[in-house]
């Protein structure tokens, strides 16, 4: 085999290697053998000229500090700075160096590795001057350095891309790690416990909750804490596309399946292969698609639209909905067999009004998140009172929008009421309707109707006492003129959360202007 043929073979091996370290190892061993050199160095530099990769053969790093190699070090630095190749039959004949008694005579080749106009690295070879390198060898090293340049660029770009993906992955995992999800309320603690328990399985999960409660956040947490974390997470809004298009997007379509289908089109199941497919708003799926998805849930089989070829799906399914699927099944809008297959593991997300104890944590986290480079922000007491008292029909999404706007509108460090949206500024906590306005169903019976009216009155009375006491249960119990323990038991009976009334102040009138009754609860 000629030297040129050996160079081509070496080039193939170098270009095929994806890892920088391994590529340089193959390169240095190959070029030393090709050029019959005694020693060799390959270095790669960053944009600032600092060595980021280095491989040595028949040299140790400490050898480079030896006096005999100071000449070689000077040549290496000259090539790095000037980007011009050097070839000396005997470096001791170099006029700028002068004679050094006792130093070994070396024949040296130092070739820059150039890429896109800059010196990316260099190749250094030496051997005894008695067998000096020839011009043919110099040309081979020049061609070799071009191959290394291309291979190094590809390997470095892959390394940088891999590092970038790794950082993004770490950021995502930190963001969606179930342990990082804000929530100390018992309902959220139970949600996080379930996420931890089911994440690393392949079980189908159904996440139910109102709009804005963070269903996709939980779905991503399940994915990123599973063994599928390095594969795609593909979220689909089942209510955003018409039925015909949704089927094509879910399963893909074959060329010629319909007008405009000019090529085969992979569906979301193929894109989510070995990863997780999130079916958001799954309650919007028409019955015809429920049947096809049922087949996938049962045995993983499906086919593209317009094709008879059976394919196997290997994607974990996490579904989400804000609909009452059981009610839809009773009404015939949801197939029961599909619902049973979908609801292997059910996770119910509480609304924000059901986990009010988490509001201070969420508010602080979201303010810090949106403030960013604007610096720390704090809430004025009146603004905090409004935020803590509001019911948030839009849940966390609505809270996030409120706080993002407030951070943008606030000029200094303090978020005032005027920085909050107008709807929140003018909002007043509604009092329940008066008891006498309640319409009681005919035929309910006098005793049952009386009991419901008493319960309604007790619930309203406790709420008003807590509102007047600013959420202080002890003070509220004194206002109601009942024992603390009995007051607290009644609060639990009616699922009343004192946290929602914190900061409302000591006022004899409720927010809607209703005067608090003076006296205790009815017997």
Query: Confidence band (pLDDT; 50, 70, 90) for 306?
Result: confident
Helices 395-409 and 381-389, packing angle to 10 deg: 160
CATH code: domain 355-425 is 1.10.8.60
Query: Confidence band (pLDDT; 50, 70, 90) for 162?
Result: low
Between 440 and 390, the more confident residue is 390
**Helix or strand holding residue 496 (H, E):** none
Give every CB contact of residue 332 below 8 A, 6+ residues apart in sequence.
none
Is the alpha carbon torsion for 118, 121, 127, 131 positive or negative?
negative
| Residue 390 near residue 352 (C-beta atoms within 8 A) | no
Residue that has been written with the tokens 């403030």 in this structure: 371
The 10s digit of each residue's pLDDT in 205-215 is: 999 999 999 89
Average pLDDT, the chain: 81
Between 256 and 406, the more confident residue is 406
The span from the CA of 31 to the CA of 142, in Å, is 11
Where exactly are the structural domains of the chain?
A: 3-161, 177-350, 355-425, 438-501
Give percent of the chain above pLDDT 90.
18
89-93, 138-142, 174-178, 337-341 — which is least confidently predicted?
174-178
Q: Is the pTM of this model over 0.95?
A: no
177-191, 382-396, 451-465, 507-521 — which is least confidently predicted?
507-521
The 10s digit of each residue's pLDDT in 307-339 is: 888 888 899 999 999 999 999 999 889 999 999
Q: Residue 90: what pLDDT?
A: 81
Give the pLDDT mean for 265-290. Answer: 91
Of 53, 2, 47, nearest to 27 by C-alpha is 53
The 10s digit of each residue's pLDDT in 221-251 is: 899 889 998 899 999 998 888 887 888 888 8
Which class is 177-350 in CATH? alpha beta
What number of other Cβ atoms are within 10 A of residue 99's Cβ?
A: 7
Of 70, 163, 87, 86, nearest to 119 by C-alpha is 86
**Helix or strand holding residue 490 (H, E):** helix 484-493
What number of other Cβ atoms are within 10 A of residue 278's Cβ?
A: 28
The span from the CA of 370 to the CA of 372, in Å, is 6
Tell me, yes or no, if the two domains 177-350 and 355-425 fold the same way: no
Q: Residue 435: what pLDDT?
A: 38
- Please determine, for residue 165, whether its predicted confidence score (pLDDT) is greater than 70: no
The 10s digit of each residue's pLDDT in 30-54 is: 888 889 888 899 988 887 788 888 8
Give the pLDDT mean for 504-517. Answer: 40
CATH code: domain 3-161 is 3.30.450.40
Quick one: tokens of 18?
């994806």
What number of other Cβ atoms are within 10 A of residue 139's Cβ?
A: 12
Q: Residue 434: what pLDDT?
A: 42
Q: Residue 511: what pLDDT?
A: 34
């Amino acid at each position: 085999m000629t030297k040129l043929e050996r160079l081509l073979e070496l080039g193939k091996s170098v270009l095929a290697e994806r890892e920088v370290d391994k590529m340089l190892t193959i390169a240095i061993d190959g070029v030393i053998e090709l050029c019959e050199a005694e020693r060799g160095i390959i270095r790669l530099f960053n944009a600032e000229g600092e060595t980021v990769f280095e491989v040595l053969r028949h040299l140790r790093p400490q050898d480079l500090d030896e006096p005999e190699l100071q000449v070689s070090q000077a040549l290496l630095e000259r090539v790095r700075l000037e980007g011009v190749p050097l070839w000396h039959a005997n470096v001791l004949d170099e006029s700028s160096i002068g004679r050094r008694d006792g130093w070994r005579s070396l024949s040296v080749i130092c070739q820059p590795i150039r890429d896109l106009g800059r010196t990316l690295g260099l190749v250094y070879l030496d051997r005894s001057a008695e067998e000096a390198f020839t011009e043919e060898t110099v040309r081979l090293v020049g061609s070799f350095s071009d191959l290394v340049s291309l291979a190094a660029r590809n390997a470095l770009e892959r390394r940088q891309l891999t590092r970038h993906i790794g950082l993004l992955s770490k950021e995502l995992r930190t963001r969606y790690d179930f342990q990082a999800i804000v929530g100390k309320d018992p309902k959220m603690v139970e949600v996080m416990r379930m996420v931890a328990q089911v994440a690393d399985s392949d079980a189908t999960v159904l996440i139910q909750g109102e709009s804005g409660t963070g269903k996709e956040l939980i779905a991503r947490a399940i994915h990123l804490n599973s063994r599928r974390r390095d594969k795609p997470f593909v979220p689909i809004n089942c209510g955003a596309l018409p039925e015909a298009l949704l089927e094509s997007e879910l399963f893909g379509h074959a060329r010629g399946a319909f007008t405009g289908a000019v090529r085969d089109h992979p569906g979301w199941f193929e894109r989510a292969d070995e990863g997780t497919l999130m079916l958001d708003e799954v309650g919007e799926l028409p019955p015809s698609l429920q049947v096809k998805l049922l087949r996938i849930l049962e045995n993983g089989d499906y086919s593209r639209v317009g094709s008879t070829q059976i394919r196997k799906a290997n994607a974990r399914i996490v579904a989400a909905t804000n609909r009452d699927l059981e009610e839809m099944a009773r009404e015939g809008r949801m197939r029961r067999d599909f619902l049973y297959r979908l609801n292997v593991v059910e996770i119910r997300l509480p609304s924000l009004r059901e986990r009010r104890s988490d509001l201070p944590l969420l508010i602080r986290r979201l303010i810090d998140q949106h403030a960013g480079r604007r610096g720390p922000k704090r809430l004025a007491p009146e603004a905090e009172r409004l935020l803590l008292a509001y019911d948030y029909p839009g849940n966390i999404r609505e809270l996030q929008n409120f706080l993002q706007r407030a951070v943008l509108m606030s000029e200094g460090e303090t978020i005032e009421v005027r920085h909050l949206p107008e709807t929140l500024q003018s909002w007043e906590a509604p009092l329940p309707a008066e008891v006498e306005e309640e319409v009681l169903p005919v035929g309910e019976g006098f005793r049952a109707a009386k009991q419901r009216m008493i319960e309604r009155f007790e619930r309203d009375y406790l709420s008003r006492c807590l509102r007047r006491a600013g959420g202080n249960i002890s003070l509220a119990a004194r206002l109601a003129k009942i024992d603390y323990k009995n007051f607290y038991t009644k609060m639990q009976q009616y699922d009343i959360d004192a946290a929602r009334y914190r900061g409302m102040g000591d006022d004899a009138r409720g927010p809607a202007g209703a005067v608090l009754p003076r006296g205790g609860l009815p017997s």
